[in-house]
Structure 1
């Protein structure tokens, strides 16, 4: 009875700048052996020419498996390519960059909120609401402005579903969903446009 090997490629993985990527890193493997040696099979060699992204196609993996297990039947499940993100471990986040990005986002968000409030005349709205509730006119109705400001901050926390690094609940925030969609579209674009170059490079190896 022929041996059957089941392969399920991972959608995206990370790798060091140089060295070999093994089959166990790229895919989940199931065969008749309890401890399969196929997971240690070298599949792709990362070189400086790969820069930041490489694409490994399932056809190349099938060729390697046929060479390693000529009599085995190979069944593939899931995606047909794996996007390899090449991450340099030498690069560390610097406090200066973090502070610069934080200030940029803080100032940008503050300007967006201020411009929105100016466009809709939020101060005039608060003055009218204060007059309707109390019957008195006030240039700065702090009774409404202070709770509104606190509520605005709490609303942003609930919207992004994070307090610093802590998640409020398991539900993803709208920003995380949009980032996930963007990452999926980016991976699909990379797989379609770099697949030819990656396959050519794999044949050279």
Structure 2
């Protein structure tokens, strides 16, 4: 008789409603050689409550414990990640247009100040004047035919660097900002998992 076996690969992160009942199919990918696989996929794992706040963690051990209790003769292999991060969606308020405009204005002013201070520190005006003198042999206060293309190129360079203009993407490569946001999210997820495991160990003791 062939051994009844299922393979489970947990999803790393999912988003659910504030009162959703979490089933096995919601948090994992499942396959196996059993005829009652849909029943296993529909197995109740966890009920989201108000106490969970914004984030909850489902550990692979808790999942295996539930499966063993429900299907004691079933062989289960857990592949990949051992925790699932549950992001709980709350009834968010609509964005305040005034706050958005204020943040946008502060970011624009801050970016402009950073660029201006950088150009002042490296004496960019004198550099342009010196470049103009090398090319033409004339000294001029405002070499506009160098400064204007430079300013346009500075803006285009920023657009190409971040690989976005509004919602349009130039290619499939992630921008440096997207990579940094991804790394930040990875660190945040790892912290949540570590913190949850630490709390579980304290409760167990």
Q: Same fold (TM over 0.5)?
A: yes
1:92 aligned onto 2:94: yes
Confirm or deny: 8 A CA contact 1:60 1:199 kept in the other structure: no
| d(CA) in 2 for partners of 1:150, 1:198 | 56
Partners of 1:57 and 1:199 within 8 A in 2: no
Q: Deviations over 1:76-130 (max 9, x none)?
A: 1111111112222433333333222222221111111111111111111111111
Deviation (angstroms), 1:34: 8.1
Change (3 A) 1:86 1:58: same
The answer for the alignment partner of 1:42 in structure 2 is 44
Structure 1 segment 122-201 matched on structure 2, within 5 A: 122-197=124-199
- Determine the C-alpha separation between the residues in 2 that align with 1:75 and 1:35: 14
Counterpart for residue 2 of structure 1 = 3
Contact 1:56/1:198 (CA < 8 Å) preserved in 2?
no
Residue 83 of structure 1 corresponds to: 85
Q: State the secondary structure of the residue aligned to 1:145.
A: helix
SS of alignment partner, residue 36 of structure 1: helix
Shift of 1:165: 1.0
Trace 1:65-76 onto structure 2 (pairs within 5 A).
65-76=67-78
- For structure 2, the residue ranges without an aligned partner over 5 or more in a row are none
Q: CA deviation at 1:16?
A: 1.8
RMSD over equivalenced CA pairs, Å = 2.1
Distance between the aligned counterparts of 1:48 and 1:199, measured in 2? 22
TM-score of the superposed pair, with normalisation by structure 1: 0.89
Separation in 2, partners of 1:92, 1:20: 26
Separation in 2, partners of 1:180, 1:140: 43
Q: Is the 8 A contact 2:31 2:37 kept in 1?
A: no
Gaps of 5+ in 1: none
Cα distance per residue 1:129-188 (max 9 Å; x no partner): 111112222222111111111111111111111111111100111111121111111111
Per the normalisation by structure 2, the TM-score is: 0.89
**What's the secondary structure of 1:86's corresponding residue?**
strand
Higher RCO structure, 1 or 2 (CA under 8 Å, sep 6+): 1
Residue 2 of structure 1: SS of its match in structure 2? coil
65-74 vs 94-103, which moves further: 94-103
Equivalent residue pairs, number: 202
